[in-house]
């Protein structure tokens, strides 16, 4: 273990007059005397005061923005505004120089678009340091929540032979010769000669395998990377993202909704409690950003207010059928302000509809019992013959954040649904077979982790809440 103290711990120290050692990256160096130093442990810099008359001039010239330095000195009460303590430097070592004329992160405001081009350096900015610390805190809170509630973390396959969603938008995994792959009698690529002896892809979801775990361990969850080969260049989509998917034996849809609501409240509350400084910084950044927007596009809640709003309010629960009636009678629908007008039952709700429902009820919303034909094959059929036990959770500002359902546990019904959805029964024989050996009611949901981080940080683009975003045409870094 090195002897450097984190800047976070130094700024919180109640002891002064003590000798300390720390290290970090130079944000600014003013008047050849005041260094603003940051090591990533906190949004705040610590001020290092240098007696330039006692320091070697050649050494001082190396202290440029971006340089990595180690400092030894006394922690003393600060004489200046903005900090309680500072370090009076007694010795200083430049661990890594920074070429000042080439360093792209000068002390000025940079656009998020520019920072995406230098993703290898953007964690050193205040914004991305804050986002990554919040991301870590949320990750920790998720594992803590499930562990405290008796769940087991299940590592589901990243390489898979099945398409859990039935969407077909998957990245192929193959070691066959790209220029001259082997062909079968019909002229198709012969995947029997491939590494796994069949066609395989990167996973779009660990749900189906997690269901197998729940039917043995009762409570499991996944938390890992998933992939979608969807050519969507939007602020809401990534080709590689992380998913949280709990699956619980003996839980029906009502239990599933209870779990999802409690889970979201607890992990967001954890971030509010443990990331106050970072969230306060991100809140100010969001306010400044919204000043350039028209009044009708600005949020009526600050970031902290929005987070507390979710934590402190019961979610409104209503069926899809009830939601359709609300939307049909709404002003935006009557005045044709919706891009997608709601005219009849069975419509697939869009983001604009979801955001309206949250605004209309003044609380997060859980919709349930969706039309069967717009939901996946594995969702339990209701007795009405036209809806399934699905549920989505809608949040202010972003719309859907969670999607889940009670799973179809009945063998014959599931078999028929697979046929109706053209899901290959031979491919998912193992999934179907669990309905023959000790089947039971079970439920689960999926939460896109980056969507959650986006909500908690207030960042407008999903590419800015993951360290190295993977999007169409971009796999840099």
Helix, strand, coil % in the chain, rounded to nearest 5: 35, 25, 40
Q: What is the CA radius of gyration of the chain?
A: 27
In sequence order, the 6+-apart residues with CB closer than 8 A to the CB of 56 are none
The two tokens of residue 455 are 């909500």
Domains of the chain, start order = 7-108 (2.40.50.140), 124-169+204-464 (3.30.930.10)
Helix (H, G, I), strand (E, B) or coil at 461: coil
DSSP state of 243: E
Q: What is the DSSP string of 161-194?
A: S--TTS-----EE--S-SSS--B-TTSSB-GGGS
The two tokens of residue 154 are 């299940």
The two tokens of residue 362 are 């003044």
pTM of the model: 0.94
- Region of 400 (left: φ > 0; alpha: ψ -120 to 50; beta: rest) is beta
Q: Are 432 and 284 in contact (CB under 8 A)?
A: no
In sequence order, the 6+-apart residues with CB closer than 8 A to the CB of 97 are 62, 64, 67
Measured CA to CA, the distance from residue 80 to residue 86 in angstroms comes to: 9
Distance of CA 184 to the CA centre of its chain: 42
What is the full per-residue pLDDT of the chain (477 aa) written as tens digits? 678 999 999 999 989 999 999 999 999 999 999 999 999 999 999 999 999 888 899 999 999 999 999 999 999 999 877 789 999 999 999 999 999 899 999 888 899 999 999 999 999 999 999 999 999 999 999 999 999 999 999 999 999 987 766 556 899 999 999 999 999 999 999 999 999 999 999 999 999 999 999 999 999 999 999 999 988 888 888 999 999 999 999 999 999 999 999 999 999 999 999 999 999 999 999 999 888 888 777 788 899 999 999 999 999 999 999 999 999 999 999 999 999 999 999 999 999 999 999 999 999 999 999 999 999 999 999 999 999 999 999 998 888 999 999 999 999 999 999 999 999 899 899 999 999 999 999 999 999 999 999 999 999 999 999 999 999 998 989
Helix (H, G, I), strand (E, B) or coil at 101: coil
Phi and psi at residue 56, in whole multiples of 5°? -65, 130
- Beta pairing partners, 431: none
Phi and psi at residue 306, in whole multiples of 5°? -65, -40
Q: Are 83 and 8 in contact (CB under 8 A)?
A: no
């Amino acid at each position: 273990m090195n002897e450097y103290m984190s800047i976070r711990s130094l700024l919180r120290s109640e002891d002064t007059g003590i000798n300390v050692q720390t290290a970090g990256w130079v944000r600014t160096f003013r008047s050849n005397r005041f260094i603003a130093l940051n090591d990533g442990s906190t949004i705040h810099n610590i001020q290092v005061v240098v007696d330039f008359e006692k320091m070697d001039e050649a050494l001082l010239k190396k202290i440029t923005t971006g340089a990595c330095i180690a400092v030894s000195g006394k922690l003393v009460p600060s004489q200046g505004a903005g900090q309680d303590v500072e370090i009076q430097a007694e010795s200083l070592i430049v661990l890594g120089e920074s070429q000042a004329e080439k360093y792209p992160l000068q002390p000025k405001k940079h656009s998020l678009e520019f920072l995406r081009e230098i993703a290898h350096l953007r964690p050193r900015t205040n914004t991305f340091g804050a986002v990554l610390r919040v991301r870590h805190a949320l990750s920790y809170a998720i594992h803590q929540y499930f562990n405290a509630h008796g769940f087991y973390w299940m590592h589901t396959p990243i390489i898979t032979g099945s398409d859990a969603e039935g969407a077909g938008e998957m990245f192929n995994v193959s070691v066959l010769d790209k220029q001259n792959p082997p062909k079968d009698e019909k002229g198709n690529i012969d995947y029997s000669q491939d590494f796994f002896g069949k066609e395989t892809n990167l996973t779009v979801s660990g749900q189906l395998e997690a269901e197998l775990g729940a039917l043995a361990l009762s409570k499991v969850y996944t938390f890992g990377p998933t992939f979608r080969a969807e050519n969507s260049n939007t602020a809401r989509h990534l080709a590689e993202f992380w998913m949280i998917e709990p699956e619980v034996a003996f839980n029906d849809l009502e239990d599933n909704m209870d779990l999802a609501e409690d889970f979201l409240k607890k992990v967001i509350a954890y971030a509010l409690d443990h990331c106050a400084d970072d969230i306060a910084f991100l809140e100010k950044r969001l306010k400044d950003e919204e000043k350039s927007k028209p009044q009708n596009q600005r949020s009526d809640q600050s970031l902290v207010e929005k987070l507390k709003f979710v934590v402190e309010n019961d979610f409104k629960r209503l069926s899809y059928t009830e939601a359709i009636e609300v939307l049909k009678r709404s002003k935006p629908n009557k005045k044709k302000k919706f891009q997608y007008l709601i005219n009849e039952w069975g419509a697939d709700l869009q983001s604009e509809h979801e955001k309206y429902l949250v605004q209309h009820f003044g609380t997060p919303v859980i919709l349930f019992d969706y039309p069967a034909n717009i939901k996946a094959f594995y969702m339990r059929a209701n007795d009405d013959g036209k809806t399934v036990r699905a549920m989505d959770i809608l949040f202010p500002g972003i719309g859907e954040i969670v999607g889940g359902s009670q799973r179809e546990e009945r063998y014959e019904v599931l078999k028929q649904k697979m046929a109706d959805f053209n899901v290959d029964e031979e491919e998912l024989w193992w999934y179907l077979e669990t309905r023959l050996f000790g089947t039971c009611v079970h439920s689960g949901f999926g939460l896109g982790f980056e969507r959650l981080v986006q909500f908690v940080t207030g960042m407008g683009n999903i590419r800015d809440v993951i360290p190295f975003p993977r999007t169409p045409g971009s796999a840099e870094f």
